[in-house]
Amino acid sequence: MSAPAVTEKKEKISVPFDYNKYLRPNKLPHIWCPGCGHGIVLKAMLRAIHNAGLDQDKVCVVSGIGCSSRTPGYVDFNTLHTLHGRALSFATGIKFAKPDMKVIVVTGDGDALAIGGNHFIHTCRRNIDLTVLVFTNATYGMTGGQYSPTTPIGSQATTSRYGSIEPPFDACEMAKAAGATFVARGTAYHTLELEKTILEAINHKGTSVVDIIDACPTYFGRMNKYKSATHMMEVIEKDGTVNVKQADKLPPEKVQGKALRGVLHKVERPEYCEQYESLIMEKAKGK
Partner 1 sequence: MSEAAVKKLPRIVINEKFCKGCSICIDFCPTDVLELKGNCVAVKNLEACTRCQLCDLRCPDFAIQVFD
Query: Given the rule CB under 8 A, which residues bind partner 1?
Result: 1-3, 6, 10, 13, 15-17, 19, 23, 28-30, 32-40, 42-43, 188-189, 191-192, 217, 228-230, 233
Q: Which is nearer to partner 1, 29 or 53 (CB)?
A: 29
Residue whose CB is less far from partner 1, 127 or 224: 224
CB of 159 to partner 1, least distance (A): 26
Angle at 140 between CA 139 and CA 144, to 5 degrees: 110
Cβ neighbors of 130 (< 8 A, separation 6 or more) are 88, 91, 92, 95, 103, 104, 105, 123, 207, 208
Distance CA 125, CA 178 (A): 5
Instruction: Please state, as a whole number, how many other Cβ atoms lie within 10 Å of the Cβ of residue 6.
Output: 9
Rounded Cα distance between 143 and 160, Å, is 14
Cβ 106 to partner 1 shortest distance, Å:
15
Phi–psi pair at 125, nearest 5 degrees? -65, -40
Q: Using the minimum distance from each CB to partner 1, give the nearer residue, 109 or 214.
A: 214
**Smallest gap, in angstroms, from Cβ of residue 199 to partner 1?**
16
Nearer to partner 1, 11 or 248 (CB): 11
Min dist CB 34 to partner 1, Å, is 4
DSSP H helix total and E strand total for the chain: 13, 10
Nearer to partner 1, 2 or 256 (CB): 2
Contact 189, 230 (CB under 8 A): no
Name the minimum Å distance from CB 190 to partner 1.
Answer: 10
At closest approach, how far in Å is the CB of 222 from partner 1?
13
Query: Which is closer to partner 1, CB of 206 or CB of 217?
Result: 217
Beta 259-266 vs 241-243: how paired, if at all?
parallel
Query: Which of 52, 163, 175 has its CA nearest to residue 113?
Result: 175
Parallel, antiparallel or unpaired: strands 241-243 and 139-140: unpaired
Pairing of strands 130-136, 102-108: parallel
